[in-house]
Amino acid sequence: MHAAYEVPRISVAGHPPAAADVDVLIVPVAQDHIADAVGAYDAAVGGDLNSALERGEFRAKAGDMFSAAIRDQAWRAARMLFVGGGPRAEMGAERFRRMAVSAAQAARDQRRRRIAWVDAEPGTVAAANRIETIAEGLTLANFDNGVHKSKNDQQFFFTDATVLASGAGAGAAADSGRFIGESVNAARVLINEPGNYLTPRVLADKAAALAAVPGITAEILDERRIEELGMGLLLGVARGSSEPPRLLVLRYEPAGAPKGQTLGLVGKGITFDTGGLSLKPADGMERMKDDMAGGATVVAALRCIAAQKLPIRAIAVVPMTENMPGGRAIKPGDILRGAAGLTVEVNNTDAEGRLILGDGLWYARQLGATHLIDVATLTGAVVVALGKITTGLYGSPQPWVDHVSVAAATAGEKLWPLPLFEEYREQLKSEIADLLNSPGRPAGSITAAMFLKEFAGDGPWAHLDIAGTAWAEESKPWQPKGATGAMIRTLIEVARAGFP
């Protein structure tokens, strides 16, 4: 197996770009401030920037890139790579992250070992946040999907990245961005792993290892413990598999953090979703190896929350199992009883995520979580509603949902609220049990969220449906094909903001 990523050394330096001894200098350019870039850098590249602008080869639109040799002998770097940002007013965190990934990826394609980012364009993001995002983006770019290719001798990673910026806090911001980038890459590796390698037991071990940073304690519950706790929903889904289920619990409870409030992150950990006896069609089923993306997301987020020593209590709970149609599998029409005491008529074994999350949410509350957020590749319906661009957001009460929305905006990630009107609750009614797990096609992502709400208690709870956003079907300059790591930064921003 080859390395999936390499975490570059990232340093911050205050010297002028001309003094940077690197292979390539990356220069961000806002479309409506091109003249600044020409004034500062055109002479160094012998007028090539201006000619590219005149030819229309580079217009500084978002994602535009132009590479030129540095002719001025007084400069120490060999090349300059200009990367467009579009209008300055549009240059928020997401734009900067994409620019950093695209440019660093291009530098990798050119086999540059030492790269530098010139923090010459402010966009709309505060300096520390911008430098953090850039460091994160540079780290994300050093990712290679070919881990299981036996011949991968073309693999190349850059080793050093310098951010040319000044100001107090720049170094800490870069360190933090690098750590977040590393954590997102590690989550992506787990999400990309195929179901035969990443069984529930393996996921539990690997996720605990990923979370092994100072301040986090990990506990892996086996099937016996899960049974003792009465988690009949998780056990029901696991019945169809010969692999035993696991439940991962991570706790971050720093001394001095207020005891009355605990953030509870719950992630869906289905290591492969065949649909069970309500079997999915063969076409596209291979994608269902990513059905533990929510679990990987909450683990990576908690890792960052602990590493940043944020002054809040936070826990992560990840129920893990395969959803398989084995001989002992649950059958449509079966009734399961969860740890919360609620009974569920399983009319469709493919609506398994809400089952295991029901027990997971209950357990997070048992452990003292007061403010819940669950993350799950939960429904195809959210992909119909919001496509692969936007994460679905659901929850109550409104201030908590808004809190998550604001965090996503700060993080530069897209999510959008969908309503949980009481009338939808009708669809969850079963003739023979407390709840029905598959209430039909209308409002499919909303009724899935309504199901979870039954297990979330009366306190603040938000649900993020990442079925559309967890996986990129095609590679983009800023995102390789496969796992995206969506919502990790949003969860970190939630924790940074504290409780509303």
Positions in the binding site for Mn ion (CB under 5 A)? 273, 350, 352
Q: How many CB atoms are located within 10 Å of the residue 168 CB?
A: 9
Distances (CA, A) of 60 to 65, 83, 124, 258: 7, 7, 16, 47
Least separation in angstroms between CB 440 and ligand BES: 8
Query: How many residues are listed for the chain in this entry?
Result: 500
Alpha-carbon distance 434 to 3, whole Å? 48
Task: Indicate the residue type of 297.
Answer: T
Work out what residue 145 binds among Mn ion, Zn ion, ligand BES, none; the CB cut-off runs from 5 to 8 Å by kind.
none
At 195, phi and psi to the nearest 5?
-60, -30
Segment lying near ligand BES (by CB under 6 A), choices 47-55, 306-314, 349-357, 398-406: 349-357
Alpha-carbon distance 351 to 323, whole Å? 10
Segment lying near Zn ion (by CB under 5 A), choices 263-271, 276-284, 410-418, 490-498: 263-271
Least separation in angstroms between CB 273 and Zn ion: 4
Footprint of ligand BES on 421-480 (CB under 6 A): 438, 444, 467
Alpha-carbon distance 394 to 391, whole Å? 10
3-state helix, strand, coil in the chain (%, to 5): 35, 20, 40
Least separation in angstroms between CB 349 and ligand BES: 8
**Which of 377, 410, 469, 479 contacts ligand BES by CB under 6 A?**
377
Least separation in angstroms between CB 294 and Mn ion: 13
Least separation in angstroms between CB 437 and Zn ion: 12
Q: Which residue has the tokens 């289920």?
A: 245
140 by Cβ neighbours in 10 Å (0-12 / 13-18 / 19+) ranks as buried
Token code pair at residue 253: 């409870």
- Is the CA virtual torsion 150, 478, 184, 446 positive or negative? negative
Give the x-and-dash track for 216-255 against ligand BES (CB under 6 A). Answer: ----------------------------------------
Give the x-and-dash track for 289-318 against ligand BES (CB under 6 A). Answer: --x---------------------------
What is the DSSP track for 159-208?
-EEEEE--STTHHHHHHHHHHHHHHHHHHHHHHHS-TTTS-HHHHHHHHH
Work out what residue 164 binds among Zn ion, ligand BES, Mn ion, none; the CB cut-off runs from 5 to 8 Å by kind.
none
Out of 108, 178, 354, 453, the active site residue is 354
Q: Is 348 in the site for ligand BES (CB under 6 A)?
A: yes
**Which of 144, 175, 182, 352 contacts ligand BES by CB under 6 A?**
352
Token code pair at residue 182: 């590393």
Least separation in angstroms between CB 379 and Mn ion: 9
Out of 113, 280, 425, 496, the active site residue is 280
Instruction: List helix spans (H) across 46-92.
Output: 48-55
354 labelled catalytic = yes
Q: How many CB atoms are located within 10 Å of the residue 473 CB?
A: 9
Footprint of ligand BES on 264-283 (CB under 6 A): 273
* Closer by beta carbon to Mn ion, 176 or else 323: 323
Contact 297, 210 (CB under 8 A): no
* Closer by beta carbon to ligand BES, 28 or else 392: 392
Positions that interact with Zn ion (CB under 5 A): 270, 273, 291, 353
Provide the binding-site residues for ligand BES, judged by CB under 6 A.
273, 291, 348, 350-353, 377-381, 383, 438, 444, 467
Q: Which residues are catalytic?
A: 280, 354
